[in-house]
Amino acid sequence: MPIYEYRCESCAEKFEVLTRFAERDSAQVCPACESTKTRVLVSSFAFAGAGDTSTSDFTSEAGGGGGCCGGACGSCGSSPN
């Protein structure tokens, strides 16, 4: 199960909860003030810890070339303009 980070809107406390994805958007009880006015924070730490490597592979491939095709078309490489 992934760890999600929540922030309490009553006392601004941040805390982490180990919960199911389906329960992610459910309100968690703040450990500091026991308020249920909490919101989940989407953090990169939570995604990295989830072991989902397919998304990171996709972003590294898409951002690795630079330009539209990585320089093969001539318009996205080093232009004299």
C-alpha separations of 4 from 14, 37, 59 in Å: 11, 15, 22
The reply to whether 36 sits near Zn ion by the rule CB under 5 A is no
The reply to whether 5 sits near Zn ion by the rule CB under 5 A is no
The nearer residue to Zn ion, 27 or 76, going by C-beta atoms, is: 27
Question: Minimum CB separation from Zn ion for residue 24, in Å?
Answer: 18
| Residue 58 Rama label (left phi>0; alpha psi -120 to 50; beta) | alpha
The reply to whether 35 sits near Zn ion by the rule CB under 5 A is yes
Residues near Zn ion (CB under 5 A) are 8, 10-11, 13, 30, 32-33, 35
